Structure formats: structure tokens, C-alpha cells
Amino acid sequence: MSVALITGGSQGFGRALARALVARGDRVVLDARGAGALRAVAAELGDRAVAIVGDVTDPGHRAELAAAVRALGRLDLLVNNASTLGPSPQPKLADYPVAEFERVLAVNLTAPLALTAELMPELVAARGTVVNISSDAAVEAYEGWGGYGSAKAGLDHLSAVLAVEQPDLAVYAFDPGDMRTEMHQAAFPGEDISDRPEPETVVPALLRLLARRPPSGRYVASQVVAA
């Protein structure tokens, strides 16, 4: 039995991935800040899911997640998926509220590092996998995306260094591409994003990556499918 921890598991890509992992027989630990949505997902997934409401920037909440993992006896996969866009509409960097910028970094960059470090013994014991959900904003300069993009660029580099320091782990920065999610809608307020793919259509690319277990690195969903 494999065990996965997915942050931001109440909606979007995190929820879709949790459904796919449970469907193949895995156990999952999920978190999110929204209690109602998270509990609904947990009820749907049944006894193979453990749901813990909280904020990944809170050390106490991360300790709860670690305790839930240890109660299951192992950790094969950590998916740092919880994320925040920042203000919407997104401001230019010169106008970015510093407190909001610090929050974006705390959620998208600092929390994944802290949670990974908390669970490093379990990951090493299982020769596990860390997946940090990235974005094309990490590698492309888009006007208005300076806060989110900076955090994701930092997450990419953090992933690369972690891979060098922990050669027994597989460490992936995974860019799922644009998806039809609430966060993506917030990035384009008032626009029709119905042409973006549903998160469920992107999950197979990550599952394929996990099954192949190529060298650690940065992978884009569309390229994984093409390969």
C-alpha cells in the first residue's frame, strides 16, 4: 500500500489527483483551508482518505499532517500542491503590497520546504517522491505575475537543489499547464476560461511521470504525454 500526502486537496488538481490515487488503491492524506470542501472530498473517498483542515504556513498544522502520515506508517509521495495566486487582479511589482507578496512566498515556497523537511525521514525510508507543483510563470516573464511567478521560480530551484542533496529521492517540479480552476479564474477575472482543460485531464501525465520515475528535474505535463 502506497501513501501520499497532497496539500490543497479539496479542489482542482489536488482533488483530481487524490481521486486517481485512491482509485488505484493508495491511501491519501489531504489538507486544505476550506473545511466544507475538504470534508466533502474525504467523504467521497471514504476510509482511504485522511483529511486535516488547516493552513500549510502554520507549523502546528504541518505537525498534524506529519503525525497523520506517521500513523499510516510510511510516505511514498508528497505533493506540494497548495498555492495562492495573490491579489486579483494581479498588480505590477512596483505596486505589489509587501504583506501580500510575503504571503505568496510563504504559501508557495516556504511551506513546501518546511513540510518536506518535516517528512524527510519518512520520504527517505520509502525512497519516495516529492512533487512540487510549478507553473510556466516560473520560467516566463508575464506582466502582473511577478509575485506568483517569483515564488514558483524559487520552488523550481528549491526542487533542483533538494534533488542534488537527496539523491535517493525523486524530486520533480511539475508544471501542469493552464487548467480550469478557481485560481486560474482569479488570475483572469471576468474572462471566459472554459477553453482550459479540466484538472482531471492533466492527472494522467503526473501518474505517468510517477510510474516512469525518470531523473529528478522539471517536467511539463504536455511534454510528459508527448514522450
Identify which of 98, 168, 173, 101 has the alpha carbon closest to the alpha carbon of residue 131: 173
Q: Which residues contact 119 (CB under 8 A, 6 or more apart)?
A: 5, 65, 66, 69, 75, 78
- CATH of the domain spanning 3-226: 3.40.50.720
**Per-residue pLDDT band at 72 (split at 50, 70, 90):** very high
Give dist(CA 69, CA 67) in Å, integer.
5
Please state which of the ranges 62-66, 86-90, 146-150 shows the lowest mean pLDDT: 86-90
Q: Could you report the per-residue pLDDT of 126-150, keeping only the tens digit for each?
A: 999 999 999 999 999 999 999 999 9
> What are the residue ranges spanned by the domains of the chain?
3-226
Q: What is the pTM of this model?
A: 0.94
Instruction: Provide the strand spans (E) within the chain.
Output: 3-6, 27-32, 49-53, 77-80, 129-133, 170-175, 217-220
Q: How far is CA 74 from the centre of its chain?
A: 19
Q: CA 59, 48, 22: angle at the middle one, nearest 5?
A: 100
C-alpha cell at 106: 510563504
